[in-house]
Chains A and B, each alone.
Chain A
Amino acid sequence: MATAAKTLGFIPRPTAETGFVSWLTTVDHKRIGLMYGVTAFLFFLFGGLEAFVIRLQLMKPNLDVVTADTFNALFTMHATTMIFLAIMPMLAAFMNFLLPLQIGARDVAFPRLNAFSYWSYLGGGIFINTSWVLQVLNPAGRAVPDSGWFGYANLTTVNFSGGMGPDFWTIGLLLLGIGTLVSGFNFITTILNMRAPGMSLMRMPIFSWTTMVTSVLVIFSFPAITVALLMLLFDRQFEANFFNVAAGGNVVFWQHLFWTFGHPEVYILILPAMGIVSEILPTYSRKPLFGYSVMVFSTALIGFMGFTVWSHHMFAVGMGPVVNTIFGLTTMAIAIPTGVKIFNWLSTMWGGRVKFTSAMLFALGFIMCFTIGGLSGFMHALPPANTQQTDTYFIVAHIHYVLIGGSIFAIFGGIYHWFPKFFGRMLDEKLGKWNFWLMFAGFNMFAFPFHFLGLMGMPRRIYTYDTGFGWDFWNMFSTIGVWVLTAGILLFIWNFVQAMRKPAGTLSDPWDARTIEWTTASPPLPYNFKEVPVIAARDDFWYKKYPDAGHGGKAAKKQDQPHAAGAVHGGGHGIHMPGQSYMPALLALGITLLGYGLLFSNMITTIIGVTGIFAGMFGWAFEGDGGTVIEVAGGDD
């Protein structure tokens, strides 16, 4: 069936199809997606464990579960882990697995770069969490970052953080940023160049659209934090004085750079989640997404406006009423495209046949919780009112409604929805509903009281509080909520394990879905599509199943029909699949080791790391063309 192509370069490429080497060298977007998903879920559990301890410490006034420094390390690493190591890569897992399937491609544009993104993410994640090992070995060393996920200078400079925490944090985030940027370019190139014939941009599934906009946000926002991190790194390692006030440095500059990245980052975390929900709602309502083109433009608009609002994180910095109100008004304006999305989701269900599957319940939970998070966000946008809210638990409520009620609920919904596609198995629906209700109840129990606590004046990031402020009851209530939420997540793991113990079946379309990823086998074969599909409409699969359902005026026009049928069908030439490679993992390993070398000022580690980088790059360039040509019996799907 599969025959090796002639090798042009002088380094042979691996061909293992099973076992460890096959995963280490894979360039298959589906396998990379699964690796992203599993790794990110493990980090999600670790970040959750950190949150669990935080809530234990705050359960009652004046508790001593952990020390002040440990608490500060916990909330710093909780946020860093959840944002960079859990939610972003979980969304990247969906993008990797689904994007080529949704646009009718066999893989992403740069398969080896895709593998490199994953391995450098894994390296960065391990790197930053190595700090916990050092912390356990030497508790007084303060190796774990403990200056907040926002790393405000000058608290993070050597004068005020002598430990290794900020070094782990800056170098770790720089490592993670490399893979993220590479993914961004990869996805944009894939979407612009590799859509199936007939798949015009405005016929593209909405999740692919959110992937596109998110990738644009990544490539424009990550340079800002990269610059900031390098400046801080130079300050710490080479006494560069960017943020040393005594030498003329400016600490507010850090905040501008950080939030120029930080606010678009919020949309990087939520737009793909919106995309997932926008796929789930139509499927289980048996109706198309209401106002598809408006949804696409809202997504793009939110992405663009995300770059115009960063200073709303800084209303207490003292920028003055003119700057504050301008950023307040631009922030409020984001409520417009966001509101449009919510009403379009409601209209999608209007007149449909709403099925309460687990995926649908999570999507409905998303709409409800994200709306609450959005509305508290609107309340923060008023600068004078914001000065009473910022840095209190009111903001903590907001971010958790957006990131758990929003992103995490969408991710769980997406897992229930696409699980048959990922694994060829079904998650149990009954357990799934229990899973949802436990998570929904637990989340609201733990996060809604944060609104009250914030409005009663409880500041964020305090490791302890005294009694007598009226905060005792709701803190206790919130901690109990975390236990319920934890039960929900554990039930999900149980459901996952149970499902994986069953043999894989052939469930190509269990939900009567709409988009073309459901035309493939479940799980899809390495080449995805035997024949590159020809797209005639938005929700192409649905209209092929129900040709009489009516295309709503969006039917394929004549000129959109693909022309060169031979190229599409492979014309008997077989399917060329990219070859596997050790080089992405080697390159990522080299970069990670370089990070360790820099961190410990260790020459040997640095030399090994740099050697790895050069070996990886030259190997990348000079390894054989590789790849396999798979002959597929033509004809039927």
Chain B
Amino acid sequence: MRLIRRLTQGPNRSLGLGLLALVGTVLTGCAKASELPQSPFDTAGPVARAQTDLMTLSLWFAGGIGLFVTVALLFVVFRYRDKKGNDKSVPKQIQGNHKLEIAWTLIPIIILGIVGVPTVQTAFATRATQDPNDLHVIVTGHQWWWEFEYPQLGIVTANELYIPTDKDVQITLKSADVIHSFWVPKLAGKMDVIPGRENHMFFNAEREEEFFGQCAEFCGTSHANMKFRVQSLTQDKFDAWVKARQAGAATPTDPDALAGMNLFMGANKSKANCIVCHTIDGTNAKAKVGPNLTNVGARSTIGAGLVENTKEHLMQWIRNPQSLKPGNKMAAHPNLTEQELEQIVKYLQGLK
């Protein structure tokens, strides 16, 4: 119901009510906002709101003009249909009318003017400022996962971005391979992630929520599986998260988890060898081929928003990643025994 509440109250009430009247129930299929995790109409910050307000304005004009043309079309064909017993003479051969032509040239110009001004304003207002006092995050797109680096905090993580609420977050976008597009519909529109250049955007989350994001530029086999989450936390909780992350991973005490760690770190090189690709802060694992796994146990999903982070999924993922995510670049580990897999998973689940 949050969508309806947001649209029917607050500063955009008139637009919101109209929008709902126009397409609301149909659009959502009578679903609640919480069931539409990627709807740009359930905005959670100023950037998305400015963009969506503009979209709503254009939707109003488009809907109005569409309705007018439809009614006019139906009226004309009904009014002038060729009926039985109708006058069969040749109708008056009207070639045109200059005044009408001028009218339907000028009216669209006026409408475009009305829409054009806020368009220009919004385009400039939603531009990233790169204010050095804001929190900065470098987002790197990989086939097919996301890397998040906090240069001011010395933290690197993957696929789940943590941000504080009510703070502008400045995003720098880079690509490690092909073009991707970074999109969290409730926070901001898309910005492409392009190899060989840096793009900038910003957003501000006004509420604590786990937001859904997804790659929006076709980037190869598993483009559909390149999702991510943005978790906004109040400043206190965010600070606590930062502190925990900066401390790095603790060595596990549980013997199974410890055995898993040893497998992970390559004690048994022929079998697991996770250390070749992954980093876990505070350990010898420092490779940057795959995602940083320092807090993998705390993530709600694995495989870049692909499946729930459960023991079974983790085991399946490590044994045969292709079975969950076609094309992905992680090696399969068919030689690990069930026990070894369980040990590794136990270690990973303990990393929070």
Contacts and interface: CB of A to CB of B under 8 A. Distances in A.
B77 interface: yes
Interface string A314-330: 00111011001100110
Contact of A391 (B52, B91, B122, B217): B217
Contacts of B100: 291, 343, 347
Contacts of B124: 321
Contacts of A38: none
For B29, B90, B123, the residue with the greatest tally of chain A CB atoms inside 10 Å of its CB is: B123
B190 A387 contact: yes
A424 to B, nearest CB: 26
A342 B108 CA distance: 12
A333 interface: yes
B94 interface: yes
B51 interface: yes
A328 B88 CA distance: 48
A252 B218 contact: no
Interface string A281-321: 00001111011111000000000000000000000111011
Interface string A384-413: 111111111000000000000000000000
A287 B95 CA distance: 8
Contacts of B127: 320-321
Contacts of A376: 62
B119 A290 contact: no
B95 to A, nearest CB: 3
A336 interface: yes
A329 B39 CA distance: 26
Contacts of B109: 336
A329 B50 contact: no
Given A251-B195, A339-B104, A346-B73, A468 B54 contact: no
Nearest to B217: A391
B28 interface: yes
B218 A460 contact: yes
A455 B112 contact: no
Contacts of B61: 378
Contacts, number: 292
A383 interface: yes
A429 B127 CA distance: 57
Interface string B98-130: 001100110011001001100110111011000
A335 B119 CA distance: 16
B119 A383 contact: yes
Contacts of B225: 464
Contacts of B105: 336, 340
B70 A368 contact: yes
Interface string B71-93: 01100110011100011101111
Interface string A462-485: 111100111001100000000000
B273 to A, nearest CB: 25
A68 B37 contact: no
A546 interface: yes
A332 B115 contact: yes
Q: How many residues of A sit at the interface, in one of the four size bands? A: 35 or more
B197 A252 contact: yes
Interface in A521-568: 546, 549-554
Contacts of B197: 252, 318
Interface string A331-363: 011011001101110110111111110000000
A376 B124 CA distance: 23
B290 to A, nearest CB: 18
Contact of A469 (B37, B177, B190, B191): B37
Contacts of A251: 179, 194-196
A455 B173 CA distance: 24
Contact of A355 (B37, B51, B82, B181): B82
Nearest to A379: B58
B50 A317 contact: no
A137 interface: no
A549 to B, nearest CB: 5
A418 B3 CA distance: 51
A385 B54 contact: yes
B339 interface: no
B192 A68 contact: no
A456 interface: yes
B97 interface: yes
Interface string B29-62: 1010001111111000000101110110011011
Contacts of B217: 152, 316, 391
A201 B275 CA distance: 74
A358 to B, nearest CB: 15
Nearest to A372: B66
A68 B221 contact: yes
Given A343-B100, A382-B122, A461-B223, 5 more contacts: A147-B218, A154-B179, A321-B123, A384-B50, A452-B27
21 contacts: A68-B221, A152-B178, A251-B195, A251-B196, A291-B95, A325-B119, A328-B116, A332-B112, A332-B116, A336-B112, A340-B101, A346-B73, A349-B80, A353-B82, A383-B123, A388-B185, A390-B216, A459-B183, A459-B214, A470-B36, A470-B39
